[in-house]
Amino acid sequence: MDWPKAIIFDVDGTLAETEEWHRQAFNAAFAAHRLDWHWDRALYRELLKVTGGKERIRHFAGPEAGGINVAAIHAMKNALYRKHIAEGPVELREGVRELIDFARGQDIRLAVATTTSRGNLTSLLDRAFGGSEWFETLVCGEDVRAKKPDPEAYTLALERMGLAAQDCLAVEDSRSGLEAAAAAGIACLLSPSDYCEVADTSAAWRVVGAFSDLPSARLLARETGEREICPY
């Protein structure tokens, strides 16, 4: 079978439904900073269109952002988030573990391209996989000038792995992630997460409700006639 040479995973919403944990941590950090802000689920769904936690806070604050210590609030949010990851109930999305085990069994290389902070990512990988060794490169929010939907996270992952876009598969859950992968020329397996509805999925190679909808081999398998959008 003709597998991709590498699978590049998004993190938030893809490996796990992490956004609810981010949301709760944002709200706790706002309260600790005596801000009268509360991001409910509907609002957070909208705010997720802005990628990156600091960018999201600045966007919400609008003209008031200058009077707010965005870095301190964001640092507290991340500390609370990581405490949850280390100590709370944490589960991968259904099918993710199977997909990763399958890929490792086929010697498919693994990488991460995320807009989240490196510490958030390594906490999750430590908790879920006992470390990050299975992923040969981790491209995080700190590594790029422009976050998704900009393709930079993906192009940097390709550069670090020495692979061409057509050798790889991106796994994503959101519109901004899909746009980033597509702009980098990488075929995208899309499974929208709880917080992300994707109205236009036409740029995706394959769309599934859950990664467990198909056995891993079929999630990755190309069908005849798919060469244009899925060249591997």
Q: Which residues touch 63 (CB under 8 Å, ≥6 apart)?
A: none
Residue placing its CB nearer to ligand XBP in the complex, 21 or 205: 21
Query: Could you tell me the smallest distance in angstroms from the CB atom of residue 187 to ligand XBP?
Result: 18
Q: Which of 93, 99, 109, 114 binds ligand XBP (CB under 6 A)?
A: 114
Residue nearest to ligand XBP (CB): 53
Cβ 57 vs Cβ 149: under 8 Å: no
The CA distances from residue 62 to 31, 130, 193, in Å, are 18, 40, 27
Residue placing its CB nearer to Mg ion in the complex, 10 or 179: 10
Query: Could you tell me the smallest distance in angstroms from the CB atom of residue 105 to ligand XBP?
Result: 25
Give the neighbor-by-neighbor strand order of the sheet with 168-172.
Answer: 137-139, 109-113, 6-9, 168-172, 187-190, 206-207
For residue 136, give the nearest of 125, 128, 146 by alpha carbon: 125
Q: Which of 2, 12, 126, 150 is catalytic?
A: 12
Residue placing its CB nearer to ligand XBP in the complex, 120 or 216: 120
Q: How many Å apart are CA 94 and CA 24, to the nearest integer?
A: 22
Any catalytic annotation for residue 10? Answer: yes
Handedness of CA 36, 42, 47, 51 (dihedral sign): positive
Should residue 174 be labelled a site residue for Mg ion when binding is judged by CB under 5 A? Answer: yes
Should residue 52 be labelled a site residue for ligand XBP when binding is judged by CB under 6 A? Answer: yes
Any catalytic annotation for residue 12? Answer: yes
Would you please indicate which residues are annotated as catalytic (active-site) residues? 10, 12
Contacting positions for ligand XBP (CB under 6 A): 10-13, 22, 51-53, 78, 114-117, 120, 141, 148, 174, 177
